[in-house]
Structure 1
Amino acid sequence: MNYLKNLISNCKRKNHVPVLTLAVLSLSTNMLTYFGTRVFTKYFQHHDMTLEFDTNTPFIPWTVAIYLGCYLFWIVNYILGCFQDDEETMRFWCADFFAKLVCLAFFVLLPTTNIRPIITDTDIWSKGMLWLYRNDPANNLFPSIHCLTSWFCVIAIRKQKNIPSWYQAVSVIIALSICISTLTTKQHVVVDVFAGIFLAEFAYWFVQKSGFINFYKKMITAINNIFSPIPSPSQPSES
Structure 2
Amino acid sequence: MTKTALSHKSASPWLEDMRRRFRTLPFLKATGNTVFLFIFFYLYLYIQRNPVFEVTQIPATQLDRWIGFQPWALALYLSLWVYTTLPVALQPDLKQLTKYGLHIGLMCALSLLIFVFWPTSVSAAVGPREGGGMFAMMYAVDTNGNALPSLHVAAAVFSFMWLQTIFRSVRAPIWLRVVDALWCAGICYSTLAVKQHLLLDVIAGGALGAVAGWLSLRSAGRGKIAG
* 2:202 is the alignment partner of 1:196: no
What is the match of residue 140 of structure 1? 146
Are 1:61 and 1:126, in contact at CA under 8 Å, matched by a contact in 2? no
Alignment of 1:26-105 (within 5 A): 26-41=36-51, 44-53=53-62, 54-80=64-90, 82-83=91-92, 88-105=96-113
Alpha-carbon distance in structure 2 between the residues aligned to 1:29 and 1:206: 24
Are 2:70 and 2:193, in contact at CA under 8 Å, matched by a contact in 1? yes
Gaps of 5+ in 1: 214-239
Superposition deviation, residue 117 in structure 1: 3.3
Alpha-carbon distance in structure 2 between the residues aligned to 1:184 and 1:33: 26
Superposition deviation, residue 110 in structure 1: 0.9
Letter in 2 for 1:78: V
Give structure 1 regions of 4+ aligned residues with deviation exceeding 6 angstroms: none
* 2:182 is the alignment partner of 1:173: yes
CA change 1:73–1:205 in 2 (3 A) is: closer
Superposition deviation, residue 113 in structure 1: 0.7
Alpha-carbon distance in structure 2 between the residues aligned to 1:65 and 1:172: 17
In percent, how many aligned pairs have the same letter?
22
Gaps of 5+ in 2: 1-10, 221-227
Cα RMSD (Å) of the superposition? 3.0
Superposition deviation, residue 181 in structure 1: 0.6
Are 2:129 and 2:195, in contact at CA under 8 Å, matched by a contact in 1? no
Q: Which has the larger radius of gyration?
A: 1
CA change 1:10–1:79 in 2 (3 A) is: closer
Superposition deviation, residue 22 in structure 1: 5.6
Superposition deviation, residue 27 in structure 1: 2.6
Residues paired across the two proteins, number: 201
